[in-house]
Amino acid sequence: MPRRRLRYAAAVLRVLVLCHGNICRSPIAEVLLEAAIAGDPDLVGRVRVTSAGTSAEHEGEGMHPESAALLARRGLRTSHRARRLSPAIAAQQDLIVAADRWNLRDGRALVAAATSHAEVRLLRDFDPEAVGRDLDDPWGQPPRAYEQTAAAVEAAIPGILGALRARL
């Protein structure tokens, strides 16, 4: 008699990338991470990536034009609406990846306020060469600063993917 394979509904991990205004760093990281997950057979369909900011100053805006241009050159999605991280949003996350130490502090405070189970980590801690370092904010800088931000995110992505695989 052939062995039947049981199929269980796979859990969906929710990852949120956090920066200050949610128009530069976190949308870049969100889209790059989303693209990496789409190419990973172990993670595709099992991880949902979003982003938010710790500030409401850009709420409702699209991503910064340089962020959008960088992603468009890579053939990736550029649609985005900035939002502020709230305790309600934090409560829905499994992992919050913060761009810098200030966002890390604020993210942890929101997770505590939400009595959430989300783990909050610094994005560059997923890159063994950059542990403890902030992801520089390219806002107001020339296009090469946005490319440097993307390169730093891309260096952290293998570590993020490995951490996600370990959670599933």
64-97: burial string, b at 16+ Cβ within 10 Å, e else: bebbbebbeeeeeebebebbbbeeebbeebbbbb
Please confirm, yes or no, whether 24 is among the known catalytic residues.
Answer: no
- The residue from 19, 94, 124, 127 that is catalytic is 19
Amino acid letter for position 42:
D
Please confirm, yes or no, whether 25 is among the known catalytic residues.
Answer: yes
Q: Residue 50: helix, strand or coil by DSSP?
A: strand
- The residue from 14, 40, 83, 137 that is catalytic is 137
- The residue from 24, 25, 106, 125 that is catalytic is 25
Please confirm, yes or no, whether 136 is among the known catalytic residues.
Answer: no
Which are the catalytic amino acids? 19, 25, 137
